[in-house]
Amino acid sequence: MDKARCSNLQTKLKNEALAMLALTGHEKSVTEYQQAIRLVGKACGIPLSDTEEHLKLIDAAKDEVRRKNSGEIISESVIPENLIPNWMPVDVHETAMALFEATLHLELYEERCALYSMANALLETQSFEDWLVNIAGGGTPGQEPLT
């Protein structure tokens, strides 16, 4: 797995973590994403400084969520608004496959399990199964589920 693809994977995971913070307002919702970003960096040999940039932005967003939850008014969010919509199913598939591929470069069982868990979380949170069922029933991407 090349470093450019791994870096893109880290960016996707960071963006999804930011979206989860915006949607849930709960900082614990992104712990798994942060761990996955670290592991992808380790698996692909991405410099720690590059990985840390993603984690710093997530930490800033977590701090923002804490401040919002305590009643502080935030005038300018570190979380871009355009991150909120669900991914397209092809994005979910590509990301899950990239996570599985990254596991091949990790030696520890626990680390491989963590990336597997992250892939499953993405498949669940992005309604991938609903999309597959819809397509199997003759629907098209973006269409309401067929009944």
Q: What is the pLDDT of residues 41-92, one digit of tens each?
A: 999 999 999 999 999 999 999 999 999 999 999 888 888 877 765 677 778 8
Tens digits of residue pLDDT in 89-105: 778 888 999 999 999 99
Calpha distance 58→36 (Å, rounded):
13
Calpha distance 14→53 (Å, rounded):
10
**DSSP annotation of 87:** P
User: Which residues lie closer than 8 Å to 60 by C-beta, 6 or more apart?
Assistant: 78
Cβ-based neighbour number of residue 4 at 10 Å = 9
Whether 29 has a pLDDT exceeding 90, the answer reads no
